[in-house]
Chain A
Amino acid sequence: MKNYKTIILSNQEISPGYYRMRILAPEYNKLAKPGQFVMFRVQRSLPPLLRRPFGIFCTGYAAPDCDGMPEKEFIEIIYKVVGSGTEIMQELHQGDRVELLGPLGRGFDLGDPEEEKILVGGGIGLVPLYMLAERMVANSKVRLLMGGRTRDDIITVTEFERLGVETYVSTEDGSLGEEGLVTQVLERKLAKYPKASVYACGPMPMIDAVQKICATRNTPLQVSLEALMACGVGACLGCVVKGAGHTDENPQYLCTCKQGPVFLAEQLDWSRLEKQQGNCGGCS
C-alpha cells in the first residue's frame, strides 16, 4: 500500500449517473486483490476535504503512448454520483491529477475451487465482484445475481458474461430482467445449488437479507461492506462495525477499512448490523 500521485486515463458515463474511471496505477496488477479498495483524492482540491473510498473494479495494462514505451498499468473504479465528492469526480478528464492510496483492506477469500460460487451484487455493490469473478472462473463455476432498482442500476453485466459467468438480472421495477428483489433469485438458486458459497456486496438491507437466507441454510457467506471513513488505514475509527460477541464491557469493533471491507458473515454481529445505516455515504 502506497500513496501515488497519478493521473486519470479516462472517465466515462456508462449508465445514467454511473461513471467508470481508469487511473494510471503502477504495481496494482501485482498488488491488488479482489475486494480491496483505494482512497481517492482529487489533488489540491478543497472541498472535498476527505478522500473517498472506492472498490477496485479491475486492473489491467493499456497500450503505451508510443512504440518502445512500457505498457501503462491501470485500475478502474466505478462510481455513482451521489454527493459533492462524486459530483466533482464526474467533471474530471484524461490527464487530471489525482492521488490514490492503496490497495487497502482485506479482500475476498477465493475459497475451495471445487465449490460452486454465487455472487450477489446490488447496484454499485457489483464493483468489487468483478475481479473476484475473474480469479474464480478458471477453476470454479460462477453465477452472478445482479439486482437494481431500475435498468439504469444494472451495469457491466456483459463483462461478467464475457468472463464466462452465468448472469441473472433482476430489477425492482421490472425494467430489465426479472421483476423483484435479487434475494428472491438467490433463494431459488440456493435451492437448486445447495452446495454453493455466496459472496455479496450491495446496500445494507440487501446484505442483511442475503445473510438471513444464508444463515438458515448454513451457506458460507462473505460480505463486502461500505462505510463512512476518513482515513482508510484504521486510525480514525469512523468506519467501525460491531463484531460477533460485541458487548459494551468487551467491545469488539472491527474497522471496515482494515479488518474489512470483506468479512466472513460469522465475524459480524448481525442483530446490531441491521440497525446501522444502509447506504454508503462514504462514496458521496
Chain B
Amino acid sequence: MSELRGTAVKLAHPKLAVEVAGLKFKNPVMPASGTFGYGEEYAPYLDLNKLGAIVTKGLSLNPKAGNATPRICETVSGMLNAIGLQNIGIDAFIEHKIPFLAQYNSPVIVNFFGNTLEEYVEVATRLEDVPGVAGLEMNISCPNVKHGGIVFGTEASAAHEVVSQVRKKTQKPLIVKLTPNVTDIRVTAKAVEDAGADAISLINTLTGMAVDVKTRKPRLANTIGGLSGPAIRPIAVRLVHQVVQAVEVPVIGIGGISRAIDALEFLIVGAKAVQVGTANFVDPNVMETIIDGLEEFCQNEGIEDINELIGTLEV
C-alpha cells in the first residue's frame, strides 16, 4: 500500500508467473545454458530464488575437456565462443552440484547432450530419479563439437529419432533446444514435437568466424564458433515467431536478450518464457533487472498478468 494525497492507493503487482510444460515459473526469465555455470558461480551476485528457473551448463555422460584456447572473442555487439561443452559429467553433477541447487526454490532444468544417441538416452535415464531436477533441456544444437548435437539438430529425422528415444526414458518435462543453423527451423521444430518434446527452446548460437588479420589465423582455436549477444536478437525473434506458428507446444525464446524490452519482444511474438545468455557475462545481476523491468512495464501498460501479453503480436 502507498499513499497518494492522503488516500491509500493499492499498487498493482502484476502477475509474472508462467507455466511451461507443467513447470511453474514465478516469472518468465531464466539463464541460457552455458552462460550461468552450475548456478553457484552467480549466487554471490543475484538471488537465485528470484529466477523463473535455473538452467545448468550442458552435461554429458562423461566429463568433457572442451576445446583448446582461445575459446572466445568479441565481435560487433556480440561474441563468438567455442568452449566445446566442457563439463564435469553427469555423475559428478548429481553428486556435487545438485545439493547446492536444491537449496533454492526455483525449478532446476538440467541441460544435457550426447555424442551418440545412446549417450543421450543414458544421461536422461540417470537424471530420471534425481530429486531436485524439475525438467530436462536437451541440446541437439551445439555447433562446437564434432560428433555432438548438431548432427541430430540439423537432420529432422535424426532429431526425431533421438528425441523419441529420450522421451521413452523420461517422465520429466522435456524441452528440446534447437539450432538456427538450418534451412527451415520449422521442419526440425515439428519433428521434435512429433517425437514427444514438451517444449522447444530456441535459438542456440549462430555459427560464425573471425580472423586476426595480422597473424591471418582464426581468432578461435576451433576456427568456427557460435555467435551470441545483442547482434543476433532480430534473427532469434524472427525464428521464434516462425516456430510459434508452426507448433502447438510452448516455446522458450533465446537470443541476445539483455533488457526487459528485449524479453518483451519474444513474449509478444509468442514465447512463454525467455532465457538470458551472454548478458549474464556483462552484468551478473542482469536477470533481476530484466524481471523488475517486466513488472514495471506491465504496471505502466495496465497489464495485470503477463500471460495477457504472450502471443499478442499484431500484424
Contact = CB atoms under 8 A, between A and B. Distances in A.
Given A231-B281, A236-B281, A49 B44 contact: no
A53 to B, nearest CB: 12
Given A1-B44, A49-B78, A235 B285 contact: no
A253 B86 contact: yes
A216 interface: no
A66 interface: no
A47 B74 CA distance: 9
A228 B278 contact: no
Contacts of A248: 65
B283 A3 contact: yes
Contact of B41 (A48, A227, A234): A234
A230 B64 CA distance: 20
B165 interface: no
A175 interface: no
A237 B45 CA distance: 18
A139 B81 CA distance: 45
What's the dominant secondary structure at chain B's contact region?
A: loop
Interface in A230-284: 230-231, 233-241, 246, 248, 250-251, 253, 258, 276-277, 281
A237 B35 CA distance: 9
A283 to B, nearest CB: 12
Given A46-B77, A237-B83, A231 B64 contact: no
B76 interface: yes
* Of A99, A231, A248, A281, most B-chain CB atoms within 10 Å: A231
Given A41-B282, A49-B78, A50-B79, A238 B72 contact: yes
B36 interface: yes
A101 interface: yes
Contacts of B74: 47-50, 84
A51 interface: yes
Given A49-B77, A49-B278, A251-B63, A3 B45 contact: yes
Given A235-B36, A237-B86, A276-B69, A49 B229 contact: yes
Interface string B42-83: 101100000000000000000111100111111011110101
B311 interface: no
Interface residues on A, range: 35 or more
B275 to A, nearest CB: 14
A240 B86 contact: yes
A227 B194 CA distance: 45
Contacts of B44: 1, 233
Given A3-B284, A51-B282, A251-B86, A233 B41 contact: yes
Contacts of B281: 50-51, 230-231, 235-236
A250 B69 CA distance: 17
A237 B229 CA distance: 17
B72 A230 contact: yes
Nearest to B84: A237
Interface in A187-240: 227-231, 233-240
Nearest to B63: A251
Contact of B72 (A2, A46, A236): A236
Contacts of A51: 281-282
Contacts of A281: 70, 73
Contacts of B72: 228-230, 236, 238
Interface string A1-15: 111000000000000
B71 A235 contact: no
A253 B37 contact: no
B105 interface: no
A281 B283 CA distance: 20
Nearest to A256: B69
A236 B65 contact: no
A101 B45 CA distance: 10
B230 interface: yes
Contacts of B282: 41, 49-51
Contacts of B83: 236-238
Contacts of B181: none
A50 B258 CA distance: 12
B230 A46 contact: yes
Contacts of A235: 35-37, 41-42, 280-281
Nearest to B35: A235
A101 B284 contact: yes
A234 B37 contact: yes
Contacts of A228: 69-73
A277 B71 CA distance: 11
Interface of A: 1-3, 41, 46-51, 84, 99, 101, 227-231, 233-241, 246, 248, 250-251, 253, 258, 276-277, 281
5 contacts: A41-B282, A228-B70, A233-B44, A235-B36, A238-B70
Interface of B: 35-37, 41-42, 44-45, 63-66, 69-74, 76-79, 81, 83, 86, 229-230, 278, 280-285
Given A235-B37, A236-B35, 12 more contacts: A3-B285, A47-B76, A101-B284, A230-B281, A231-B35, A231-B41, A233-B45, A235-B36, A235-B281, A237-B83, A240-B69, A253-B86
Q: Which 4 A-B pairs have the closest CB atoms?
A: A238-B72, A251-B65, A235-B37, A231-B281
